[in-house]
Structure 1
Amino acid sequence: MGLLTFSLNVTLDGCVDHQEGIADDETHAFFSRLMDEAGAMLWGRVTYEMMEAYWPAVARGDEDATAAMRDWAVKLEAKPKYVVSSLRTAFPWTNSHHIGGDLRTSVQKLKEATPAGVLLGSGMLATELDRLDLIDEYKFLIHPGIAGHGPTLYQRGLASTRRLELISSTPLHNGTVAMHYRRAPA
C-alpha cells in the first residue's frame, strides 16, 4: 500500500494562499521531484479547478513559462489526478478521475491501488483526511514570509494535536525550507 503524503506551500504564519509563496524554478523543481516519486495526485474540487485553469495551457506551450514550470506542467499532465467532489463528477483534464462516496473508503482504496503513493495538495481536503487518520507523511515547503491573512493550514481545526517526527529539513537557495515529517507513533 502506498503512503498518502500531504504537501503544500505554506508561509511562516501558516498561510496557504498559492499567491503568497515563491514560485521560482527551484520551487517548481522541488514539487516536480515530489510528483515523480508519487503514483498519483489527490485534490479537492477547488484545487483541481485552479490547477486545471492554468497548467494544461503551460503543458501545451500556450503560456509563457520557464523550463522548470513547463517540466512540472508536462509531468502533471501525464500523472493520474484524483478529485474529491460532491458537486462535480466530470473532470475532463487528461488522466483526471472523480472520487465519490465514502471518503475514508475511497481514499483507502486509492492508497491500496497506488503502491508508489499518493501526493495530496489540497488544504481543506487534508483537514478532512487527517481527521480520518489517512495522512501518513507531510512534506511542506515553508516560505520565508508572513502573509498576515488566510487561508491558513488546518483553519477548520482537528480534534486533537497531531504529533510528527522530523525526517528531514532541507534549505533551498531561495530561502524556503523543505520539511519532511512522518506521523509519530501513538
Structure 2
Amino acid sequence: MGLLTFSINVTLDGCVDHQEGIADDETHAFFTRLMDEAGAMLWGRVTYEMMESYWPAVAGGDVEAAPAMREWAVKLEAKPKYVVSSTRRDYHWTNSHHIPGELRAGVQKLKDGTPSGVLLGSGKLATELDRLDLIDEYKFLVHPRIAGHGPTLYQGGLPSTRRLELISAEPLRNGAIAMHYRRAPLSS
C-alpha cells in the first residue's frame, strides 16, 4: 500500500491561495520532485479544473513558460490524475480518472493500488480525508509571506488535533521552507 501525502503551498498565516506563494523555478522544481516520487496525483474537482485550465497548454507549448514550469507541466501530463467529484463525470485531460462511490473506499483503493504513493494537492479534500484518517504524510512548502486572508489550511476544521513527527525541514534559496511531517503514532 502506498502512502497518501498531502502537499500544498502555505503562507505563514495558513493561507493556501495558490496565488500567494512564490512561483519561481525553485518552487516548481520542488513540486516536480514530489510528483516524480509519487505514482499518482489526487485532487478535488475545483483544484482539478484549475489545473486542467492551464497546465495542458503549457505542456503542449501553447503558453510561454519557464523551463521549470514546462518540465512540471510535461510530467503532470503523463502522471495519472484522480479526481473526487460528486458533480463531474467526464475527464478529457490525459490520464485523468474519476474516483466513484464512497470517499473512504475509493481513496483507500487508490492507495492500495499505488505502491509508490499518491500526492494530494487539494485543501478542502485534504480536510475530508484527514477526518477519515487517510493522510499519512504532509509536505508543506511554507512561504515567507503573511497573506492576511483565506482560504486557510484546514479551514473546515478537524475533530481533533493531529500530532505529527518532523521528518525534515529544508530551506530553499527563495526563503520558503519545505516541511515534511508524518503522522505521529497514537500514544497509549
Q: Pick the TM interval, shorter chain.
A: over 0.9
- Aligned counterpart, 1:131: 131
- Aligned counterpart, 1:50: 50
Separation in structure 1 between the aligned mates of residue 100 and residue 120 of structure 2, nearest angstrom: 16
Q: Which consecutive residues of structure 1, in runs of 5 or more, have no partner in the other structure?
A: none
- AA aligned opposite 2:170: T
TM-score (norm 2): 0.99
- Aligned counterpart, 1:86: 86
Separation in structure 2 between the aligned mates of residue 100 and residue 137 of structure 1, nearest angstrom: 24
The CA deviation at 1:177 is: 0.1
Counterpart mapping for 1:68-83 below 5 A: 68-83=68-83
Separation in structure 1 between the aligned mates of residue 3 and residue 68 of structure 2, nearest angstrom: 26
- Aligned counterpart, 2:65: 65
Deviation per CA, 1:37-64, whole angstroms, max 9, x where unpaired? 0000000000000000000000000111
- AA aligned opposite 1:72: W
Deviation per CA, 1:131-180, whole angstroms, max 9, x where unpaired? 00000000000000000000000000000000000000000000000000
- Aligned counterpart, 1:117: 117
Deviation per CA, 1:25-80, whole angstroms, max 9, x where unpaired? 00000000000000000000000000000000000001110000000000000000
Separation in structure 2 between the aligned mates of residue 144 and residue 64 of structure 1, nearest angstrom: 27
Separation in structure 1 between the aligned mates of residue 89 and residue 126 of structure 2, nearest angstrom: 20
- AA aligned opposite 1:105: A
The CA deviation at 1:100 is: 1.7
- Aligned counterpart, 1:171: 171
Partner of 2:141, secondary structure, is strand
- AA aligned opposite 1:94: T
Q: Which consecutive residues of structure 2, in runs of 5 or more, have no partner in the other structure?
A: none
Separation in structure 1 between the aligned mates of residue 82 and residue 57 of structure 2, nearest angstrom: 19
- Aligned counterpart, 2:18: 18
TM-score (norm 1): 1.00
Partner of 2:59, secondary structure, is helix
The percent identity for this pair of structures is: 83
Partner of 1:156, secondary structure, is coil
Separation in structure 1 between the aligned mates of residue 84 and residue 100 of structure 2, nearest angstrom: 6
Separation in structure 2 between the aligned mates of residue 78 and residue 45 of structure 1, nearest angstrom: 19
Separation in structure 1 between the aligned mates of residue 25 and residue 163 of structure 2, nearest angstrom: 32
- Aligned counterpart, 1:150: 150
- AA aligned opposite 1:86: S
RMSD over aligned CA atoms reads 0.3
- Aligned counterpart, 1:41: 41
Q: How many equivalent residue pairs? A: 186
Separation in structure 1 between the aligned mates of residue 64 and residue 174 of structure 2, nearest angstrom: 22
